[in-house]
Amino acid sequence: MIVAFYLIVAFLIFVFLSFLYMKRIINQFMNEELKIITSLRNKEKLTNIPDNIRAEYEETLNKIVTQERDLISSIEELKEYRKELDITYNTLVLKSSQLEYTNQILELRVKNLSDLNQISRSISSLFNLDKIINTITDAYFILTPTKRMSVYLWEDGRLTNKKIKGAIDYREDAIYPVEAFYKFTPEDFNKIYYDLARHMTVLNGEKVTISPLKVKDREIGVLFTIQDKEKLIDINKEMISALAIQASIAIDNANNHSELLVKERISQELDLAANIQKQILPAYIDGVKGIEVAAHFSPAKEIGGDYYDYSIKNNIFSINIADVSGKGIPAAFLMALSRSMLKTINYVSNYTPAEELNLFNKIIYKDITEDMFITIMNGKYDMNTGTLVYSSAGHNPLVVYRKNSDEIELCGTKGVAIGFMADYLYKEKAISLYEGDIVVFYTDGIIEAENENKKMFGIERLQDIVFENSKLSAEELKEKILSGILEFRKAYEQVDDITFVILKCKK
């Protein structure tokens, strides 16, 4: 029994010691395992590793080190990618803001274009200058940040203030000689505009915008607009400039329209004057015995300074042809006055051709300016005797064809033009005309007619035409003279009035 007890005790002690030993073994193993795990976690290589797990341990450690390195590299790449994402995001945000701003600007530009189109359509139908200026100034105040405005236009060398809108304390005109105005350079105009702008009161924070009005480099005027500096952004500057262009075109159109109306009125008046002039020139005369009469008048302009006239009194056929210096309206007025006076003198008197010129010169001398004069060939044909008495006041000699001798001669008298000398006494001569004889009264528009080479028709060509066509009637000879002038001149313009009268003696 005792032996059994001791055996049990001995067994229990053995078990207990075995337990302690196993526990020690387990603890030692766990410590080794912990060291291995810790070394793996810290990536530190152990040297005293059992041979049976050394290869697996080193392989595991290498994998952990490699994975950690790869992980760190991936993290760095992720950080760089994140930075790129942040930059991209910020760029997109900025681009989005810019795009939004650009879109707003585009919308504003589209609106401005629409407004400009409306303004253009509105003022394009206007030809009243005041209405155009009012419309433009209203547009500046509606479509731009303009606070005050002044409009100037050029008028014959004078820069005239046409309108002020807002409190502008300066509105004086700038006056220059017309001849100087046409010599101004762009720099001269700019200086004038800047000098005017300096006279205008501008507050702090404000600015004067100078907008010249011009069409094809031709100065029309200038717009001065005053705005706050902070509101002068590009889009507003563009609108200010665009409105100035529209204003230039509209004002120029209005001026052209006004000039056109004036020209049309003048043209209508000239047409009326030309018709009156043609009506007062005798186209046909009854009662002329023993001669054929043919006449032609064609002014270089609408109306001319040449004229011819004839009448019958006491069996005397009076004829005169005259050339007033110059062309156009002044010459036509003097021509009409001359015709009326000579016709009156002829009607109330029985003067000879020279006596008529003497009286006419005395009457009209005081009314003729120094730059004007009148040349006249004045004649009277006695239908009973066939005698032509003539007197010249500085006029071209008569071209006379003599049938009996078959010759051409020039017949004239010395005498100054009407208006040169107050008390001048004119001379006269007489020739007898027979059947087939021809007399041509003419102005220098015939002999001085030019061709493209600047050569003149000349008296010789006129004489040749009369001589070569002496057997024709007066009307037929007239057509030959006209065709000869036209053939000589060809397409070259007529530079002077062409007037002539042909007398041809018949049985």
Q: What is the mean pLDDT of residues 368-375?
A: 82
* 382 pLDDT more than 90: yes
Q: In what order do the strands lie in the sheet with 429-432?
A: 306-313, 316-324, 374-382, 387-393, 429-432
> The tokens of 234 are what?
């590009």
pLDDT digits (tens, 9 = 90+) for 142-180: 888 889 999 999 998 899 999 999 888 888 998 998 888
Query: How much is the pLDDT for 15?
Result: 64
Most confident among 27-31, 230-234, 326-330, 475-479 (mean pLDDT): 475-479
How far apart CA 168 and CA 493 sit, in angstroms, is: 55
Q: What is the mean pLDDT of residues 420-428?
A: 92
Burial of 274 from C-beta contacts in 10 A (0-12 / 13-18 / 19+): middle
Confidence label for 436 from pLDDT (cuts 50, 70 and 90): very high
Burial of 424 from C-beta contacts in 10 A (0-12 / 13-18 / 19+): middle
Query: How much is the pLDDT for 332?
Result: 74
Amino acid at residue number 147: K
Handedness of CA 275, 276, 281, 285 (dihedral sign): positive
Nearest alpha carbon to residue 411 among 436, 385, 437: 437
Nearest alpha carbon to residue 353 among 390, 308, 394: 390
How far apart CA 320 and CA 442 sit, in angstroms, is: 10
> The tokens of 268 are what?
């209508």
How far apart CA 271 and CA 88 sit, in angstroms, is: 80
pLDDT digits (tens, 9 = 90+) for 199-212: 898 889 889 999 99
Handedness of CA 61, 65, 67, 68 (dihedral sign): positive
Confidence label for 74 from pLDDT (cuts 50, 70 and 90): confident
Confidence label for 16 from pLDDT (cuts 50, 70 and 90): low
Integer angstrom CA distances of residue 263 from 250, 259, 260, 314? 20, 6, 5, 47
pTM above 0.85, yes or no: no
CB 466 within 8 A of CB 500: no
* 330 pLDDT more than 80: no
Q: What is the mean pLDDT of residues 295-321?
A: 86
Mean of pLDDT over the chain: 83
Q: What is the 3-state secondary structure of 232-268?
A: CCHHHHHHHHHHHHHHHHHHHHHHHHHHHHHHHHHHH
Query: How much is the pLDDT for 466?
Result: 96
Nearest alpha carbon to residue 151 among 84, 226, 89: 226
What domains can be seen in the chain, in order of their start residue? 126-261 (3.30.450.40), 281-505 (3.60.40.10)
